[in-house]
Amino acid sequence: MTVPAPPRPAPLPSTLPTDRTLVMGVINVTPDSFSDGGRWLAPDAALAHARTLLDQGADLLDVGGESTRPGAERVTPDTEQERVLPVVEALAAQGVVVSVDTVHAATAAAAAAAGALVVNDVSGGLADPGMYDVVASTGVVYVCQHWRGDPGTMDRLTDYPRGVLAGVEAELAQRLDGLMSAGVARHQVVIDPGLGFAKTHPQSWELLRSTGRLVQDLGLPVLVGASRKRFLALAADPARATDPLARDSVTAATTALAASAGAWAVRVHEIPSNLDAVRTASLWKDHR
């Protein structure tokens, strides 16, 4: 029995694969990201890394100029744009499907003007009240992540009286109501459960296990961003678990599981093993 493909957002190029979960490669144009801070800060370095990810099989690239790790300092939209816009513009000019990872409406608008087709907002619009209007006016695909508090406070906001899945679904439904009221079309929206954002490690595992429920309950494409995050350390060799790069094998395992459950895309730092994982999941579903 063939399992139906996950819902797809629009508008995105028809050249993207439709028979499997997409692999979104991460480009952190920041000095302080948790897994690779500073390595791709210079535009030339970021573009060279982008080419490597694309050559390895990434379907689209997510360019971010502000770290969202716990305790990270906020940056201004101007600083963020200085970091990301040269990279976004250069990649878009080459025909790459580009996502911009930002909570700032001004950066989202500037990136869309530079050719970005996706805005990945970890705050789900809570950080900047102007974000929904930008999404409506530009028509970009919008990743609406579940979020409580900023990087400095989110680790203290993990209480979900009805359970983490019910709480996340209810709060994402509120975000969706706000998006629709602002004139955003439903087909533009992707949801992200926000693994690691205002969740304990067990809560993140519970949400990851519930990927299929999220797809079914909310009826929207789901982006899963588990790559190298701290909660994966529970499944890693304790001797190596403190090193984010040592979590890549666990990341690939979660990618296969999320893809089997119907995730639209996975956001990852390392491409080859995760591309193998989504292809494996596709074959698994086709021959179930």
Q: Is 51 a catalytic residue?
A: no
Distance CA 148, CA 127 (A): 10
Distance CA 46, CA 204 (A): 29
Indicate if the alpha-carbon torsion angle 154, 250, 274, 279 is positive or negative.
negative
Closest alpha carbon to 229 in 244, 207, 243: 244
- The residue from 199, 267, 279, 285 that is catalytic is 267
User: Which stretches of the chain are DSSP H helices?
Assistant: 43-55, 77-93, 105-113, 131-138, 164-181, 201-209, 211-218, 248-260, 272-286
Name, in order, each residue with C-beta under 8 angstroms of 49's C-beta and a sequence gap of 6 or more: 27, 39, 40
Q: Is 199 a catalytic residue?
A: no
Distance CA 80, CA 71 (A): 18
- The residue from 83, 175, 228, 229 that is catalytic is 229
Distance CA 225, CA 235 (A): 16
Return the active site residues.
Answer: 229, 267
